[in-house]
Amino acid sequence: MRWAIGGPLVQAGLDADPGKRAVVMTMGALHDGHLELVRRARAEAGPNGQVVVTIFVNPLQFGAGEDLDTYPRDLDGDVAKLAGVGADVVFAPTPDVVYPDGDPVVRVAAGHIGDVLEGEHRPGHLDGVLTVVLKLMHLVRPDVALFGEKDAQQLLAVRRMVRDLEVSVEVVGVPTVREADGLALSSRNAYLSADERTRALALSRALGAGAAAADSGGDGVINAARQVLDEADGVVVDYLALVDPVTVDAVADDFSGHALLLVAARVGTTRLIDNQAIEVSPEVQR
């Protein structure tokens, strides 16, 4: 496995093999969810292709008062983990490589997708995500880019950007990896105390309750999930929404069809997000 810090990716020998190139973009502090993305990337690239993992804590996607300075970082540990899961190159650029002139003047705007839900609570966040994703796509030049489905709104925004801007990259979503008790893996889980981690399970329980109520219509899904969250101690909800999986617009109470149930909440000082795909049926008449 090669790895490059701060130089053009071609210096790491990436232009030597004409096979398919797959990229996994991360901010480091890698966990099993990231490693599953890399395994999937290996399968997408095939035996003659290349798997590139980028590690870059992107300042553009952190707002004022967020955890940019304290975000967990462990580059040596990350590289050691990646050695066993099929990564060929780790690209860990410094900010001056990604943004050589400082904060970029021209940025990607997420539009409506970036104004709701995460965008409402973290203004500019998805603009920063899309800007660095497009920049890294230009630097790495992948054929395939893999993203976790846990960050559902981010995945949707990336897919829309690739479509709208005619970026020649296939975007592949990979299902959320969870602990045995249902907690979605996240680098921010490291912030949780033992008690907070137990409280955080309310998010996945709420999603499960919503999914179990799928045959009672959209309002039944939301009500079932909200009840779990309302009864949870120490969980402060930013939003709970049942949305169209393409537009991220909230669906009507009598909606039926494929939808995403999204939740964001704070447990202690840690902000967590999670989601569940649900096939919603009309309310059953009894």
How many C-beta atoms lie closer than 10 Å to residue 282's C-beta?
13
Please check if 69 is assigned to a binding site: no
* Cα–Cα dist 40/43, whole Å: 5
Ligand-binding site membership of 149 (annotated): yes
Cα diameter, the chain: 67
- Is 179 annotated in a binding site? The answer is no
Report the C-alpha gap between 144 and 151 in whole angstroms: 18
Reading the block at residue 49, the tokens are 């292709």
What separation, in Å, do the N-terminal and C-terminal C-alpha atoms of the chain show? Answer: 61
187 assigned ligand-binding residue? yes
Tell whether residue 150 is among the known ligand binding residues. Answer: yes
Place of tokens 């976790």: 148
3-class state of residue 284 by DSSP: coil
Is 61 labelled a binding residue? yes
27 belongs to an annotated ligand binding site:
yes
Who contacts 5 (Cβ-Cβ below 8 Å, separation ≥6)?
Answer: 92, 93, 94
- Active-site residue, selected from the candidate residues 34, 112, 121, 125: 34
Q: Is 28 assigned to a binding site?
A: yes
**32 annotated as ligand-binding:** yes
34 tagged catalytic: yes
Question: Would the annotation count 188 as a binding residue?
Answer: yes
274 Cα distance to chain centroid: 10
As annotated, the binding site for beta-alanine includes 61
Residues taking part in catalysis: 34
As annotated, the binding site for ATP includes 27-34, 148-151, 177, 185-188
As annotated, the binding site for (R)-pantoate includes 61, 154
As annotated, the binding site includes 27-34, 61, 148-151, 154, 177, 185-188
